[in-house]
Structure 1
Amino acid sequence: MKRLLLSVCLLGLLVAPSAQAAVTVSDEKAKFIAPPPTPLEASVARALKSGDTRPETIKLFLPWHHDVYQIGPYELTWAASPTKRGKAIQLTEIYWAYNYSGKSYSSYPGLDNFITNAPWKHAAEYGTTLQLDYTNPNFADYIANVAAERAKQFHAKGVFLDWWTNKHPSALSEAKIGEARRKIAQSIRDRNGPNFLIVGNTNWQFDRSTHDLINGVYLEMIKKQKGPYSSSEIETVEKLLEFHDEYLSEPKIVALEMQRITLDKSERDRNSAVNNRYAKLFSAMNVVVPRNGFFIYTDNNRDSATSDHLHTYYEIYRTKLGNPKSARTKISDGIAYKLFDKGVVLYNWTNQAASVGFGKAGTVHIDAHEGAFCEFTTPGRLSCK
């Protein structure tokens, strides 16, 4: 992984992005002077801390796969029947929209009253799946009680709700789905109190219809291609981070899953230079934009029937810059930074390299489609990786 050396007098070094990234990059570089850091809000989102909060700047989360990965490196995790290991914030998944036929983990006492004969038309790899009658007037209170019981059983701090959008593979209208979701979120909140965490998978949707009732979103950024996200898609990710951080209820959990560039299914390919590059860019965006951001960079859902959410541990995840001292500070469209106790995190998702001056601390040379994690050295200068 290359290092970016920062110096006030060193303005000429720029490294072109890997050809594997397949992005169009301007030959020119933009030059900026970093504006003063934006102060943290007086009522900033409260810190979301596990029992043994880790010191790393990038807060990792584990979606499912408790049988594959140890909980140790993760600060947030969920599964249908989560296994308590370590002190990560743990959620239990509640199957509120569909039932996997014959699978005990998606069946609860009394659920038979709400299972329909209508198929849930998602990928065949998931097996026979039937839609639940979640528009039934009695369903919201029923599933809220299930949430309370399951959270107690697994010592979870709340629940995770997949397919938390109005776009379902069913005959129901978006209006009907939205009305049902609203009632379900309200019932779970009323039944479990203000400190109970509710996190929903909203994917690419700009939907805040239940944000006054839920605490977090899972942004599962599924892409059709095995290559990189387009600049337009990355810009949308930035806007989604901004949107959910603004409208969610406290403590505003934003769990971002970005998917890698896949040439093959090997661990070597997961840890390629181009994947290290994009893991750094997207983790930087998730550190800088939301106040309680969690991150993971994974295989593509379409890589194989079993590849969903599989990942590796990148060296950049070891970065330790202390606590944030500012909110996100915009430098230009697509370029921003956040100040920390021991350094600065920046990102540049644009197609043009940039130089950003930080006064006596030095100048950051940040390439197109790149993140930078910069630490203050003893003389007060910045050194980045």
Structure 2
Amino acid sequence: MDFAEPEELRDLRDEARALATEWAGRTDPNPTPDPMGTTFGVPEDSWLIGTSKAFSLELAQRGWIGMTWPVDEGGQGRSTMERFVVYEALIAGGAPLATSWFADRQIGPTLLQFGTPEQRRRFLPEMIAGRSAWSIGMSEPDAGSDVASISTRAVRDGDHWVISGAKVWTSGAAEADWCYLIARTDPDAPPHRGLSEFLVDLHSPGVEVRPIVDVTGNAHFCEVRYDEVRVPVENLVGVENDSFRQVMRQMEHERGGIDRFVSNRALYDLVLPMADISDPRVRQDVARIESTYRIGRHLVLREMLGQAPKGFSAATKTIGTEFEVAVADFCARVAGAETMLWNRISRNACYAPAYTIMGGTTQILRNIVAERILGLPR
């Protein structure tokens, strides 16, 4: 087996790295002040907090949104590996991807699989052009990782669905144009039934977006309240009352990506030269981080190439988020007392527990691995 990387992928990675270097830290004005200083200027988690409409248009101009989508749907028809090397380099380098990230990673692929031809003709071109930003309305105040427990209601009224309820931890909702929302359409059905998915215009009457300022001062998470929001019937995605399968497929896109392994890579690369490699304990930490990254990278590639067992993204995401926490802890230990200052290292250390929550808690994902992959008893 030849593991050598083709020259065209090396050139593509170099191009993406150069673009990330050019754009790192350049985000749209944020109404929430950033109190963190600039000791380490390249932001981590840029795929989540780095909002930039200008960068989204730059990606579109290069054909880097919808890279693997079919040409007859407006995509580039490029290989999975090409998209992989581009986004690994962009996220690791701190490029401000948040504006286009959810559309490219999840919403577009979901519409390609479950959407109607009319929905694809309407929504995919705006995504590919970098002109529409998306969020995902899944978690609720009383239903986090347990999607089957959501209570947001959608009631049919003629040519519209009327949606009422609340979503929370909706990443990027304050800047998004649309939300891919999961609601309960049959309250009498079993928990995993009676769910449907909708494309909701966040500028509709009755929508209220409330940014949530976290301990780091960022406000990318939001609570979104829906008060009798009218959504056209043609915005229902897939099968009414039977979207749990669609939700799980969408989560495969979210949980099996390289973002979990490179979100704070830029910070690690900046801190590593400060480490005392003569200390055997530090060498062990570095070896563990580097080897875990390489293992995790191969797991992601298996996911993207369709070689992983069904549901294995739960394991990939668990390893990835625990890896992110390990990197944050390592950077804090290396920086020592400087971590007490309010800079990028302390921000990442404070934020690290969230890694194992968003996208499904580690506890829930370990249960999924045990029950659905290993076949262990409940």
TM over 0.5: same fold?
Answer: no
Structure showing greater Rg: 1
Using CA pairs under 8 Å that are at least 6 residues apart, name the structure with larger relative contact order, 1 or 2. 1
TM-score by length of 1: 0.27
> Between Structure 1 and Structure 2, which shows a larger proportion of helix residues?
2
| Higher strand proportion | 1
